Structure 1
Amino acid sequence: MRTVETPSGPIAYDDTGGDGPVLVLGHGLLMDGRQWRKVIPLLSGYRCITPTLPLGAHTTPMNEDADLSENGVACILADFLDALGLDDVTLVLNDWGGGQFMISEGRDKRVGRLVLVSCTAFDNYPPKPARPAELLCRLPGGGWLLTRLFGTRFFRHSTRAYGALAKTGLPDALYDEWFRPAVENPAIRRDLVKFATGAPSRRRLLEMSSRMSTFDRPVLVVWAREDRMMPLAHADRLVELYPNATKVIVDDSWTLIPEDQPEVMAEALRAFVS
């Protein structure tokens, strides 16, 4: 894994390399680029870059003064694109949709296309099943207590927690890797708490979301019909919001479409980018 410095701290990333169209694949809370491990092998001919954003599974803490609010992390993602000198990027967001705030922050110049895959949008930050964890993180010592739950079967597999993300389920070995940094490193836990409690008010979120209509480049909305975290109605709202948007609805999947339906996800990306 490579690392690049941004003003907020180091960002680790994987890069398949090559001269093909560039896809930057985002990830969700307490995850990393392995969220796309089933899809990337199906995208030969494309340069796939997977940054590990400071959402709790990163292994090197950010600077103490780093802004890890929703729009702050969006700006870190923009800084990452700047640091690598990437242009005409297809930015793909799944689960965490806060990368959209690159638009409201005026930092989207390197994004040529946007793909929104069953992700947070409008005022759904955080999604309803994640709100108890957010409230816990607001209490003194709440971040530490939250990490004590990471090893429990309930947290990993209940549909009221992380089990709601993938219909096919996720392996415990992968959870172990994703959760270990926040469990073992207090500075990573600090970053996790800053992000978990960093969502603006619902009114502010909707105000920032209204600015997305200025993004006139191609947008693809890919949504799971049975999603338990992200309202299906948001798919239509996003198509209405973005002036150049199309929609694909995926069956037999929950939020992590790259996990539940990797072939469908890869085909949608190939058709959109080409």
Structure 2
Amino acid sequence: MSLETTAMRDPALGERRSVVLPGGRIAYTDSGSGRPVVFVHGLLVNANLWRKVVPLVVDAGFRCLTPDWPLGAHSIAMSPQADLTPPGIAHLILEFLEELDLDDVTIVANDTGGALTQILMANHPERIGRVVLTPCDAFEEFFPAPYDRFPTLMRWPGAIWMASRLLPLPVVYSRASVFGCLTKQPIPADVMDSYLGPIRDDGQIRRDAKRFIVEVDSKYTLAAATMLPEFDKPVLLVRAADDRVFAPQLFERLAATLPNAELVTVADSCAFVPEDQPNDLARLIVEFAG
């Protein structure tokens, strides 16, 4: 049975669609009209990360597109030939923008998606109008501790299968070393199942996840950082006051690297600002993109 037909996506995200790209088919939700805002989530989450933010941004007069990027919680497996390295997925984002003919786009990114967006900014800035980076990987922190062991662990035979059995268990994913440190309050069970069900239930999704994870390396974010001083479009850096994963100095360094960046801090939030403080994040997006 295809996961595409059973994948839970919050109705608030809008109409469920898909688009065929060279590396495979990407599912996404589409809501609203006006200037486009494209969201980029991180590892082992999907469009549901933005379920509390999208309706507020749509109500302010924007079109919100929330793809499921092939990072392990997606509903449609990619082609075995697809480039799932970090630069490959950054190029996939560009292909998504090109296929839907989206221009002057506001990119909003979180977690691993922020690293992919920095690679996109460095190498393919042409369709980007502005960028909002919430807590995310950068510089030598790709992945940050305690997740920096993942690329090595996932090279072990059977490791991705074992992870797919353990991670969906609440006693495991609620640990501080997994999802527990990312939010103030527990993520609802149905949302967690949408995140971790695909790698549990579909071997091709596990294959995609492993192909990406083993390729994660700070050489990509460090290379992007050398080119970010040339990215002169507006960037809003949204730091979380209670972030336990991404060091506050990362965003200070990004602010010093990017020529047109503004740094703000959201109170009472961990790294998943879309989960902890969706109203504040939506307001910042609307003010910045408006």
Q: What is the TM-score of this pair, normalised by structure 1?
A: 0.95
Partner of 1:151: 168
Deviates more, 1:144-153 or 1:216-225: 144-153
Going from structure 1 to structure 2, the CA distance change for 1:10 and 1:235 (only over 3 Å counts) comes to same
Partner of 1:179: 196
Residues 203-218 of structure 1 mapped to structure 2, 5 A cutoff: 203-218=219-234
Partner of 1:226: 242
Distance 2:223 2:195 in 1: 33
Q: CA deviation at 1:155?
A: 2.8
Q: Does the 8 Å CA contact 1:113/1:219 hold for their aligned counterparts?
A: yes
Q: Does the 8 Å CA contact 1:57/1:182 hold for their aligned counterparts?
A: yes
Going from structure 1 to structure 2, the CA distance change for 1:159 and 1:213 (only over 3 Å counts) comes to same
Residues 60-75 of structure 1 mapped to structure 2, 5 A cutoff: 60-75=76-91
Q: 1:11 aligns with which of 26, 36, 41?
A: 26
Q: Secondary structure at the match of 1:94?
A: strand
Distance 2:220 2:97 in 1: 26
Partner of 1:84: 100
Residues 139-159 of structure 1, C-alpha deviations (whole Å, 9 max, x = no match): 011110111111223432111
Partner of 2:68: 52
Partner of 2:109: 93
Distance 1:221 1:266 in 2: 14
Q: CA deviation at 1:204?
A: 4.9
Q: Secondary structure at the match of 1:175?
A: helix
Tell me which amino acid in the other structure corresponds to 2:255.
V
Runs (4 or more) in structure 1 with deviation over 2 Å come to 131-136, 151-155, 202-205
Q: 2:184 aligns with which of 167, 176, 183?
A: 167
Q: 2:158 aligns with which of 114, 132, 141?
A: 141
Going from structure 1 to structure 2, the CA distance change for 1:174 and 1:182 (only over 3 Å counts) comes to same
Q: CA deviation at 1:228?
A: 1.2
Q: Secondary structure at the match of 2:72?
A: coil
Q: Secondary structure at the match of 2:125?
A: coil
Residues 99-146 of structure 1, C-alpha deviations (whole Å, 9 max, x = no match): 2101332x2211000110011111211121223333321101111011
Q: 1:24 aligns with which of 17, 20, 38?
A: 38
Going from structure 1 to structure 2, the CA distance change for 1:180 and 1:65 (only over 3 Å counts) comes to same
Aligned residues: 271
The CA RMSD measured in Å over matched residues stands at 1.3
Q: 2:133 aligns with which of 116, 138, 141?
A: 116
Q: Secondary structure at the match of 2:76?
A: coil
Going from structure 1 to structure 2, the CA distance change for 1:150 and 1:249 (only over 3 Å counts) comes to same
Tell me which amino acid in the other structure corresponds to 1:49.
L
Q: Secondary structure at the match of 1:35?
A: helix
Q: Which segments of 5 or more consecutive residues in structure 1 lack a partner in the other structure?
A: none
Q: Does the 8 Å CA contact 2:168/2:197 hold for their aligned counterparts?
A: no
Tell me which amino acid in the other structure corresponds to 2:172.
F
Distance 1:110 1:203 in 2: 24
Partner of 1:273: 289
Q: What is the TM-score of this pair, normalised by structure 2?
A: 0.90
Distance 1:138 1:242 in 2: 35
Q: CA deviation at 1:66?
A: 1.1
Deviates more, 1:83-92 or 1:123-132: 123-132
Residues 207-247 of structure 1, C-alpha deviations (whole Å, 9 max, x = no match): 33211111101000001021111111111111111100001
Q: Secondary structure at the match of 2:146?
A: helix
Q: CA deviation at 1:203?
A: 4.4
Q: Does the 8 Å CA contact 1:9/1:66 hold for their aligned counterparts?
A: yes
Residues 26-76 of structure 1, C-alpha deviations (whole Å, 9 max, x = no match): 111111111011111212111111011000111111110111111111111
